[in-house]
A and B are shown apart, each in its own frame.
Chain A
Amino acid sequence: MTTNSIKLLYIEDDTEIGELVTEQLRAKSYEVKWLKSGEEALREAEGCSLVVLDVMLPGLDGFTIGQRLKKANPDLPILMLSARTSIDDKLQGLEFADDYVTKPFHPDELSARIEVLLRRGGRRSSEPTKVKHLLVYEAENRIVHADTGEELALGGKQFHIFMFLFRHLGQILTKEQIYEAVWGESYLDGDKTLMVHIRHLREKIEKDPASPEVVETIRGLGYRVRA
Chain B
Amino acid sequence: MNKRYDSQAPVRKSRLLPGSLQGQYLIIVLAAFLFIPVIIPLASLTYTIVQWSSKSDMESGAKYGGTSGLLSDWHAHAANMEGKSDAAIDEALIELKRRYPEASMFWVDANGATRSQLPPQLDIPAQWTPEEAIRFMKASIGKDPYTVIAFLGKENAGSSFMTIRMPREAISTGNPNGSGTPYYIAFVFVMFSVFVAMSLLFFRHIRRRLLRLQSAMARQDEHGIPEPVAIKRWHEIGALEYSFNGMVAQLRDSRQRQSEEEQLRKSLVANLSHDLRTPLTIMQGHLYQLREEPLSPKGQQSVSVMQGKAEGLGELIDNLLAYTLMTSGRYKLTLETVDIVRLARESAASWYPLWEREGLEVDVRLPHEQLIWQGDRAGLQRMLDNLFQNVVRHARDGGYIGLALEKRHGRPCLVVSDKGRGLNSESSATGAGVGLAIVDYLADSMGLVRETASSEEGTRVYLYEKTNDGRGYF
Footprint of B on A, CB under 8 Å?
A: 14, 16-17, 20-21, 23-24, 56, 83-88, 90-91, 102-108, 170-177, 191, 218-222, 224
Whether A174 pairs with B342 at a CB distance below 8 angstroms is yes
With A87-B325, A220-B365, A221-B348 given, can you name 14 additional A-B contacts, CB distance below 8 Å?
A17-B278, A17-B281, A20-B285, A24-B288, A56-B274, A83-B281, A84-B274, A86-B318, A87-B378, A91-B378, A104-B280, A172-B350, A173-B349, A221-B345
User: A173 to chain B: which residues have CB within 8 Å?
Assistant: 349
User: A174 to chain B: which residues have CB within 8 Å?
Assistant: 342, 345-346, 349
Residue of B nearest to A222 (CB): B349
Contacts A20-B286, A173-B349, A177-B346 given: A85-B325 contact, CB under 8 Å?
yes
Residue of A nearest to B284 (CB): A104
User: B318 to chain A: which residues have CB within 8 Å?
Assistant: 85-86, 102
Whether A85 pairs with B322 at a CB distance below 8 angstroms is yes
User: B364 to chain A: which residues have CB within 8 Å?
Assistant: 219-221
User: Does B240 sit at the interface, judged by CB under 8 A?
Assistant: no
- Interface digits, B305-337 against A, CB 8 Å rule (1 contact, 0 not)? 000001100100010011001100011000000
Q: How far is the CA of A86 from the CA of B378 in the complex (A)?
A: 11
User: B273 to chain A: which residues have CB within 8 Å?
Assistant: 83-85
User: Does B282 sit at the interface, judged by CB under 8 A?
Assistant: yes
- Interface digits, B359-382 against A, CB 8 Å rule (1 contact, 0 not)? 000111110100000000010001
Residue of A nearest to B331 (CB): A87
Q: How far is the CA of A83 from the CA of B273 in the complex (A)?
A: 6
Whether B349 pairs with A103 at a CB distance below 8 angstroms is no
Residue of A nearest to B368 (CB): A191
User: Does B77 sit at the interface, judged by CB under 8 A?
Assistant: no
User: Does B353 sit at the interface, judged by CB under 8 A?
Assistant: yes
Residue of B nearest to A15 (CB): B282
User: Does B277 sit at the interface, judged by CB under 8 A?
Assistant: yes
Whether A17 pairs with B322 at a CB distance below 8 angstroms is no
User: Does B270 sit at the interface, judged by CB under 8 A?
Assistant: yes
Contacts A17-B281, A87-B325 given: A176-B342 contact, CB under 8 Å?
yes
Contacts A85-B318, A85-B325, A175-B368 given: A106-B284 contact, CB under 8 Å?
yes
Q: How far is the CA of A90 from the CA of B273 in the complex (A)?
A: 14
Whether B349 pairs with A221 at a CB distance below 8 angstroms is yes
User: B200 to chain A: which residues have CB within 8 Å?
Assistant: none
User: Does B39 sit at the interface, judged by CB under 8 A?
Assistant: no
Q: How far is the CA of A87 from the CA of B317 in the complex (A)?
A: 12
Q: How far is the CA of A16 from the CA of B281 in the complex (A)?
A: 9
Total count of chain B residues near the partner, CB < 8 A: 43
Whether B350 pairs with A103 at a CB distance below 8 angstroms is no
Q: How far is the CA of A20 from the CA of B286 in the complex (A)?
A: 8
Residue of B nearest to A19 (CB): B285
Instruction: Kindly provide the distance from the CB of A24 to the nearest chain B CB, expressed in whole angstroms.
Output: 7
Whether A85 pairs with B321 at a CB distance below 8 angstroms is yes
Q: How far is the CA of A86 from the CA of B277 in the complex (A)?
A: 12
Residue of B nearest to A226 (CB): B353
Interface-centre pick from A85, A108, A177 (highest chain B CB count, 10 A) = A85
Across the A-B interface, the 4 shortest Cβ-Cβ residue pairs: A220-B364, A20-B285, A172-B349, A83-B277
Interface pairs (11), CB distance under 8 Å:
A20-B286, A85-B322, A87-B382, A88-B270, A103-B277, A105-B281, A106-B311, A107-B288, A220-B403, A221-B362, A222-B345
Q: How far is the CA of A222 from the CA of B362 in the complex (A)?
A: 13
Partner of A104, one of B281, B326, B348, B350: B281
Instruction: Kindly provide the distance from the CB of B154 to the nearest chain A CB, expressed in whole angstroms.
Output: 131
Q: How far is the CA of A76 from the CA of B246 in the complex (A)?
A: 57
User: B352 to chain A: which residues have CB within 8 Å?
Assistant: 172, 218, 221, 224
Instruction: Kindly provide the distance from the CB of A227 to the nearest chain B CB, expressed in whole angstroms.
Output: 12
Q: How far is the CA of A105 from the CA of B287 in the complex (A)?
A: 12
Interface-centre pick from A175, A218, A221, A222 (highest chain B CB count, 10 A) = A221
Q: How far is the CA of A129 from the CA of B50 in the complex (A)?
A: 127
Whether B350 pairs with A171 at a CB distance below 8 angstroms is yes
Instruction: Kindly provide the distance from the CB of A38 to the nearest chain B CB, expressed in whole angstroms.
Output: 17
User: Does B8 sit at the interface, judged by CB under 8 A?
Assistant: no
Instruction: Kindly provide the distance from the CB of A120 to the nearest chain B CB, expressed in whole angstroms.
Output: 15
User: Does B216 sit at the interface, judged by CB under 8 A?
Assistant: no
Contacts A87-B322, A104-B283, A174-B349 given: A20-B278 contact, CB under 8 Å?
no
User: A171 to chain B: which residues have CB within 8 Å?
Assistant: 349-350, 353
Residue of B nearest to A27 (CB): B292
User: Does B289 sit at the interface, judged by CB under 8 A?
Assistant: yes
User: Does B269 sit at the interface, judged by CB under 8 A?
Assistant: yes
